[in-house]
Amino acid sequence: MKAVQFDAHGARDVIEYGEFPDPDPDRGEVLVDVKAGAVNHLDVWTRRGLPGVDLDMPHVPGSDAAGVVEAVGEGVDRFEPGDRVAVSAGVACGSCEFCRDGEESLCVSFHILGEHVRGVHSERAAVPAENLVPVPSGVDWEIAGSVSLVFQTAWRMLHTRADIEAGEKVLVLGASGGVGHAAVQIADHAGCEVFATASSEEKLAHAEDCGADHVVDYEANDFAEEVADITGKRGVDVVVDHVGAATYPDSLKSMAKGGRLVTCGATTGPNPDAGLNRIFWNQLSVIGSTMATPGEVDDVLELVWDGTFEPRVRETLPMSEAARAHEMIENREGFGKVVLKPDSEF
């Protein structure tokens, strides 16, 4: 089979699309004929190299994919050949105290397909059965293969960790990206007043179409000042910030007293000034979040499958153009997800 792969960390030129050994499903695994899979910022960081993460090379990236079950390994009874499935990339041990309490995303040995182990941007992939969810007929492969990682992440951030309520004001930074555009829809669906930032009029228009009530061009305006003006200096109840060092100070400034900042990443750097004086004086909470539990995944994907949430796909490319997909993510081109399909599917 053919797969997206790299045999060393580095810039986009390390990415290749070529022959790779066909996978065989081990016990508890399912062999999936991959139809589509989205590229996430996680794939960019994995390709560049993450501290403390040692990969077997060559490495196949990819944490999102959907396709048809081709075969099942011993002990699998949840799926059978011909089933339509999508990947949910978080892998938990199932036996630690957090897993026993139903908090699998806090698992002491939690890891992610495509980040810590072989991913799914290939013509076929052997995936643990626990990491697959059924996909109803009629759902486009581009949608099925692009929603799981970002929608489950945004859902847990807002509903489980920040515990949003109807009527609250929610600011979503980077609303044109995968997590961002999911968070806008989830907050709007919950009855919140949604503020969104993006870097162009086109992206802001898409954010409004996803449910944002107020939009701010962060390249033309100071978003903290804009939020203060709109809210009469009150601020917002919740900030969704996966940008990191570049936005963190203004995220704190944007928050109302008692507000919550929830973060799932730090693409511009992980070590901003903590802002402790503002945190304790305004009694703010800074909350971490990553991925989701299986129950949370089921909850949010049900709303994707029935059309309540509408994932946006900015472009679909053949896997042989994976480097171009990474470039679009790195350069923040367009709105929504970039999807790859095996060249044989074009």
Domain coordinates in residue numbering, the chain: 2-147+311-345, 151-288
Count other Cβ atoms within 10 Å, centred on residue 243: 22
Closest CA to 180 of 233, 138, 241: 241
- Which amino acid makes up residue 233? K
118-to-32, 89, 90 alpha-carbon distances in Å: 14, 11, 13
| Runs of H (alpha helix) within the chain | 41-48, 97-100, 141-144, 148-155, 178-189, 201-210, 223-230, 248-253, 276-281, 294-305, 322-330
Which option is the CATH number for 2-147+311-345: 3.90.180.10, 3.50.50.60, 3.90.1150.10, 3.40.50.2300? Answer: 3.90.180.10
Are the C-beta atoms of 317 and 298 separated by less than 8 Å? no
Is the preceding omega at residue 58 within 30 degrees of 0, hence cis? yes
Residues of the chain with pLDDT under 70: none
CATH architecture of 151-288: Alpha-Beta Complex (3.90)
Distance CA 145, CA 311 (A): 10
pLDDT for residue 52:
87
Identical fold between 2-147+311-345 and 151-288: yes
pLDDT for residue 267:
87
Distance CA 87, CA 106 (A): 19
98-to-101, 103, 104, 108 alpha-carbon distances in Å: 5, 5, 6, 8
pTM, entire model: 0.96
Are the C-beta atoms of 210 and 175 separated by less than 8 Å? yes
